[in-house]
Amino acid sequence: MAVTEDEVLHLAKLARLNLSSSDVSNFVDQLSPIVDYFKELNEVDTDGVNETSQTTGLTDVFRADNVDVIRNLSQEKALSEAKNTSNGFFVVPAILNKE
Amino acid sequence: MKIPSTIIELHEDLKNKKYTCVELVEHYLGKINSQNKALNAFLTITDNEAFKKAKELDRIILDNPKAFDEFPLLGVVMSLKDIYLTEGIRTTAASKVLENYMPQYSGTVVHRLESAGVIVIGKANCDAWAHGASGENSDFGPTKNPWNIEYVPGGSSSGSAVSVSAGMTFASMGTDTGGSIRLPASFTNLVGFKPTYGVVSRYGVISMASSLDSMGHFTKTVEDSERIFNVTRGVDGFDSTVVDHAYKAENINKKFKIGIPKEYFAKGLDPEIESKVMNAAKEFEKMGVELINISLPHTKYAISVYYIVQPAEVSSNLGRFDGIRYGNDRESFGSEAKRRIMLGTYVLSSGYYDAYYGKAMKVRSLVINDFDEAFSTVDAILAPVSPSLPFKIGQKVNDPLQMYLADIYTVAANLAGIPGLSLPGGFSESGLPIGFQLLGKRFSESTLFDLGKKYQAVTNWHDQNPL
């Protein structure tokens, strides 16, 4: 298999996904043939070819640094979909230990 | 109540008081009530908002003698793929992650449509997060093809296409990241339009793959497709990839050249589709268009490039869904979203980045070079949209690679950022629609619309409706 169980578990950790054991075996079975298929790209000679990450050709797009009231959401609106707020802030899980 | 097939005729009817906007909304709600249960095209029906807007518009028609000039889409009832944010109206991306999400703002396209007189009647089902070619990846159940409900309508803008094809709306907004408008248009006998990347703002649309996402729409006619594009396009100051391009009427009496790329007619193409697509080419030839055989040699690699670049961008865009600021947590992602997050994380991860993502970005340049070279000799390219007819619901769900390969003729246009127009081209022996597409160089929408209008003037496939 091109993609191993250990790799699937590692990727899930990077992507913050909790996978069930059946998810893990499904992904080993399903991702491997897809990744194998990609190997056809090795046939293509890309020496000296530039990478394309976008097609507009635009670089460094600027706008005036003005406050635009239409663009702004009120604090109340911005928080309206959060399950847990406190004094106008989002409440998030702790990521640091107390010690 | 007989609804005409173009906006111009609709406006004549409204001017002549054959019906009001409120009656139009009643008509479409009646269609939705009788058909949506079987077709599952809508996730949310915005009847209250639609009536409110219709009353406003009826008032404008009475009060403003220039109403139809000032509101180019006055009275046009539309559905929106449920990844267009609509302030105060639930927007789910057809995912359980956002099943109760109420957007705090609407995006540019929605604002522009509403300001032009569009009545939004509901939010359309789709593959969750726009991931899919069949509509079956919706977390709220698959959309059915009105031409035969055992078959898929194509995806990912499945509900958008079906809402128009089955007469439940006049037109619909979809998104096309790898064929998600052109494919369902071809599976449901509609005109599907994907604009040049960077011409219609993506602001306020849930991102799938940011270098590929194109905001387009479904209509019955090319004339209306162009009319809607003239409302949605242009710089808004909210999406910095939008370029200020001055479109002007061109091509008057121009003798067009259309390229027929041999790689799009190779092994794997259903012979019934090949024959219909070649019939379309012959229609163009009859009207004086010159057909030229061309080659796009890197076509076969486009699917690999696309299924590296797109999941890479998907995995990064879906990284923001943490269930803290809005929506549910990551446990709620469906299996296809998880698969793409995993695949994208794989091709971007340390040790594999150069071999997959880096390589794909280089081959993407070669795919673009193929098109640039072709467009130095031809004005447009004519090709099939899908290698196969609409397939049965459930047929490909357990084989993601086979499902991905259904995108083989559509993804290259997204990689190159060029516009595409999918047009009805006839029916199979089994009665399923067959479409074909015209592709043009960047900003050549006028050429595609011109060719499309000429084709529709001599064919009547687009007038056929499902029973």
Catalytic site residue from B79, B106, B138, B156: B156
The structure tokens 């230990």 sit at: A97
At residue B43, the pLDDT reads 98
At residue A99, the pLDDT reads 64
Are A53 and B211 within 8 A, CB to CB? yes
The answer to whether the CB of B154 falls within 8 A of the CB of B184 is yes
State the angle between helix axes of B299-317 and A21-38 in degrees (0 to 180), rounded to the nearest 10: 140
| Rounded distance between C-alpha atoms, residue B11 and residue B461, angstroms | 23
User: A24 to chain B, minimum CA–CA distance in Å?
Assistant: 11
| Rounded distance between C-alpha atoms, residue B408 and residue B303, angstroms | 6
Residues from chain A contacting residue B335 (CB–CB below 8 Å): 23, 26
pLDDT < 70 regions, chain A:
1, 99
The answer to whether the CB of B10 falls within 8 A of the CB of B3 is yes
Residues from chain A contacting residue B349 (CB–CB below 8 Å): 10-11, 14
Are A38 and B240 within 8 A, CB to CB? no
The answer to whether the CB of B156 falls within 8 A of the CB of B128 is no
pLDDT < 50 regions, chain B:
none
The answer for residues whose C-beta is within 8 angstroms of residue B351's C-beta and 6 or more apart is: none
Selected for mutation to probe chain A from B320, B363, B418 (highest A CB count within 10 Å) is B363
Q: Chains A, B: CB contacts under 8 A, how many?
A: 144
- The interface predicted TM-score (ipTM) is 0.94
Are B304 and A41 within 8 A, CB to CB? yes
| Rounded distance between C-alpha atoms, residue B187 and residue B435, angstroms | 7
At residue B398, the pLDDT reads 82
Residues from chain B contacting residue A52 (CB–CB below 8 Å): 361-362, 364-365, 368, 415
At residue B1, the pLDDT reads 87
Are A52 and B308 within 8 A, CB to CB? no
At residue B251, the pLDDT reads 64
The minimal CB distance from A31 to the residues B315, B333, B346 is found for: B346
B81 flagged as catalytic: yes
Nearest CA in chain B to A83: B324
Render pLDDT for B338-352 as a digit per residue (tens, 0 to 9).
999 999 999 999 899
Render pLDDT for B381-400 as a digit per residue (tens, 0 to 9).
999 999 999 999 999 888 88
Nearest CA in chain B to A82: B325
B180 flagged as catalytic: yes
| Rounded distance between C-alpha atoms, residue B385 and residue B219, angstroms | 17
> Rounded mean pLDDT of chain B?
96
